[in-house]
A and B are shown apart, each in its own frame.
Chain A
Amino acid sequence: MADSLLAFFTLMDNQDGTIVREPPNFDLDLYIQSYRGRARFDRLFLIGRSSVPLCVDALKLAIAEAKRGKDTHRYREAVECLRVAAPSEPEAVFDQKWLEAQDAENKTETNRLLKELKGYKNNLIKESIRMGNEDLAKHLESIGDLNAASETYSKMRPDVSTAKQLLDVGKHLVRVSIQRREWDMVSAHLSKMGGAQSAEDEKAVQPYLKIAHGIAFLGREKFKDAALSFLSADSNIPSSTYGELASQSDVAIYGGLLALASMDRNELQTNVLDNAQFRTFLEQAPHIRRAVAQFVSGRYSACIAILESYRPDYLLDIYLQKHIAAIYSQIRSKCIIQYLTPFSCVSLDTMNKAFGGPDQVIEDELANMIQSGALQARINTIDKLVTTKAANPRAQMQDSALRMAENYEKQGLDRLRRMGLAAADLELKSVKKSNPFGSQSDLMLEETLG
């Protein structure tokens, strides 16, 4: 690794960034082709900051992307990074002339649009005001002022006159909220979009709504809800309607991974593999389909191996990056639980062969899982065995019956006592308002312990 790259990633590491050393399985140019709009820069920039092998290429592409747009702040950020990572590249020098020109142009454009909007407002024509707001917000979004953009987009709402326009407002707001990583706002905006259209329109936006919902749930770590959302997206609608959110293969990956993390084998079979709607998506990501199929047929180590080989790819995804560790560990512990289900006793050696790695000791992992209550089993470290504990409904019933009876007795006595206290007018009441302790003398007792 070059010194400058090393310095760059030490810096990223200090900022708690994720660093991916392994090369991903995709080709950067092909990968970025499936995205449009501002998401392109976001994805490129993320890869540039995270992936060691792709760092310079991605940053260079990001700079080019930024220069095509109007957002000078992004350009500065990207060049700043490249200057640390690869100072010798020609792109690592600020294009001062472009920057100044663009800044000035942005300013005049903002002023022009503001002035226009003012004019529309004076004329009191609803449609013009709406369009004026939309133009201004679009401009603000493109120069990177997301806060003002979302404010201006929401100003469009009072002047909306058709269902289509309402939908557009919603889409704008969802897009900006996703860029700002405000997942609760995404859900809020989405809920305002549903139900206002005719059945046909509804169908056309269905995948958009479902995918956006899924992304919002993913952002809030509600994996199961997110999975169900992605899995119900309609694949017959052209991907252009939701292209600004995610590509088809992204939908397949998000849906498949989250389903693996949150569903059991039967659910996976019916919701993922037998789901005709989702099959089209899965065709774009055959490895996810394979992983799910392996899991369902009980070959857990194969499933984990597939997922591990794609870990770098997912770590470079803008929405998945933060959650990949949690998702993988959930899948892993599910695999272990499923693996143990048919047995009453398994030797630690076989477990190690199936799940352990050179740097992973299965015993500690099992201990943690048992402690957290995820797994009902006991470890015998002397004979190297794991014995699973079958749930014993009879013992549970007896236990809960006895406990209930005892509780009933205790509660009954307590109620009688409290009635007695109330009847004798002995409840606590403060004498003076200012003194919450009433007028009791200090009672401090010497302690003795036999």
Chain B
Amino acid sequence: MDQIASVLLNFPPAGGIADDDLYNSAAKSHSQSVDKLAVTPNFKDTAAQLLDHVDPAINSISHLSLLIAARAADSLPQPELLAKISIFLVSFDARQIRYAGKAFASVLDWVTSGNLFPASVAVDLVTAALLRIDPTGSVLTTHHVALAKLAYTTDNVGPALPLLEKNIVFYPGVKGLQEPRPLGSPDLPPASYVTVESGLTKQLSSSDVLQYDLFRGLCFIQRRSWSQALDALERVITYPARDTHSCSKIMVEAHNKWVLIGLLLNGKAPTLPTITAPGAQKAFSALGKPYQSIGNAFGESTGRLLKTEYEGLGPQFFSEENNLSLVRLVIQHYQRWQILKLRQVYTKISLEKIRTRTQSAETGAPLATEAEVAQLIQEMIDEGMLSGVIERPADGPAYLSFHVPDEVLSEAEFGQRMLQTAQRLKELEPIVKATNERLGTHRDYVRFLSGQQKKDKDWQRDYGVGFMNQVEDEDLMTDAVAGF
């Protein structure tokens, strides 16, 4: 047992290792010796005891292997094991764990499977762990997909938000990459160590990527953050395709929701981005017809068309498509948007006029009383959708007065906002750098470059022809050639 302990505590040495290359080789050999140790029969039996002596934050690789052994041997009481796993996941050394990706992935798999921890805890733990490995959150892994699914289906979106809000830019599975820096190098971009080879993720398929963004969209819908949901769904529908006819069912599903979200967010149907693949465009226009006609009906000045569009297909249809609550919400919001649009025409308008001018799409008729209108408007003002106030003068009818937004920003305010954007753009710099490096060292690019250089050389060699080509036929008679 002491012998085992000494191997486990061997890495990292007390003072740490300053040199990256030394760290790399030491970590590698440690990881291998731990793997060797793990298959010895002794190891299993002592794992539970040793766990207390191996600090998860310092000897992360060792602690990880002990956890796996302890679970396999079932030598720890369940509550204690769970506590150990939780502590490990929030405190492990992210640099070390790059050398034990496969083992780490299996622990994450336990947690995301959902039968070890209660879902809310599981979501929280996995989110924290994934962000520890990749603080930028820019690389998609199989765990991301599982987490999003778990969070959405168990209604625990809140704890996963820090991860879901990150922008995914890199995807594992790039072939032919050459990474000269060692795995443990602190300035290594996450995309270079969160790879299939390191075991931190498995190979992804295009439908995994689509699912992840669709789940993200659904999570944001659940939180009613429409603009984030719209962005997430837009990523699904603009997913690149290699040919002109393929489209995924997930994309169609996302498109339908995307149209409805666009109505809720902007009061009009969104226009399909131009980068949408042609096959997808065709599929959307054929399969998304009911939603497009809802979108068109939303723009009409009377609610009747929207009502008939909805009732023509019936709640049954939308419930089968799992969009019933969204569609209902859209219909509820119709009149609100009608009122909001009055803002572009009026500064003050009487409630009675609002009543006659706008219609509820639920009934296809104007509201019955002025009090109902007042209540609706008050709701909108309270929710922050409308900026204005209802005035009730003593000698006249009640009216709504829209606040005219102060259009011109002060110079300082404007500068501030531009600076914020510039800052965000600056934050993209490491991503751009990483992409550049990755693609610059890609096998295909190197091949292309060497081909290009060869061509340049060939061109230089036949300078005579090159020169002759530049001289036109007529010029042959003039002095241009005489000096040659």
Contacts and interface: CB of A to CB of B under 8 A. Distances in A.
A426 B222 contact: no
Interface of B is mostly: mixed
Given A381-B346, A417-B235, A427-B242, A448 B222 contact: yes
Contacts of A406: 421
**Pairs A-B, 9 closest by C-beta atoms:** A430-B246, A395-B407, A424-B171, A428-B241, A405-B421, A382-B348, A424-B173, A429-B242, A449-B325
B170 interface: yes
B246 A379 contact: no
A447 to B, nearest CB: 4
Contact of B171 (A395, A421, A429, A443): A421
Given A409-B425, A416-B432, A437-B249, 10 more contacts: A383-B348, A401-B414, A405-B418, A412-B432, A413-B167, A416-B169, A420-B170, A424-B172, A428-B242, A428-B246
A392 interface: yes
Contacts of B170: 420, 424
B421 A380 contact: no
B347 A420 contact: no
A425 B242 CA distance: 10
Interface string A290-305: 0000000000000000
Given A413-B169, A443-B250, A387 B222 contact: no
Interface residues of B, number: 81
A394 B250 CA distance: 44
Given A370-B344, A424-B173, A440-B248, A409 B428 contact: yes
Contacts of A412: 425, 428, 432
Contact of B418 (A370, A379, A402, A414): A402
A421 B209 contact: yes
A446 B421 CA distance: 37
B316 to A, nearest CB: 15
A386 to B, nearest CB: 10
A104 B344 CA distance: 68
A422 B323 CA distance: 32
B209 A381 contact: no
A406 B404 CA distance: 24
A424 B196 CA distance: 11
Interface string A407-419: 0110011101111
A395 B409 CA distance: 7
Contact of A444 (B168, B169, B173, B322): B322
Interface stretch (B40-48, B129-137, B200-208, B303-311): B200-208
Contact of B349 (A370, A371, A382, A429): A382
A398 B424 contact: no
16 contacts: A378-B347, A380-B348, A381-B349, A381-B353, A402-B418, A412-B432, A413-B428, A423-B442, A424-B170, A426-B173, A428-B206, A429-B242, A437-B248, A443-B211, A443-B249, A445-B253
Contact of B174 (A405, A424, A438): A424
A213 B431 CA distance: 59
Contacts of A380: 346-348
Interface of A: 367, 370-371, 378-383, 387, 392, 394-395, 398, 401-402, 405-406, 408-409, 412-414, 416-430, 436-438, 440, 442-450
Q: Which of A413, A420, A427, A442 has the most CB of B within 10 A?
A: A420
A392 B418 contact: no
Contact of A429 (B241, B253, B345, B428): B241
Given A370-B344, A429-B241, A398 B408 contact: yes
Contact of B421 (A409, A418, A429, A443): A409
Contacts of B431: 416
B73 interface: no
A398 B350 contact: no
B417 interface: yes
Interface string B243-265: 10111111001000000000000
A440 B253 CA distance: 13
A409 to B, nearest CB: 6
B326 interface: yes
B175 interface: yes
A444 B214 CA distance: 11
A205 B439 CA distance: 67
Contacts of A414: 235, 238, 275
B421 to A, nearest CB: 4
Nearest to A377: B345
Contacts of B348: 380-383
Nearest to B175: A425
Nearest to A406: B421
A447 B325 contact: yes
B16 interface: no
B205 A381 contact: no
A367 B248 contact: no
A24 to B, nearest CB: 37
Contacts of A416: 169, 428, 431-432, 435
A405 B422 contact: yes
B117 interface: no
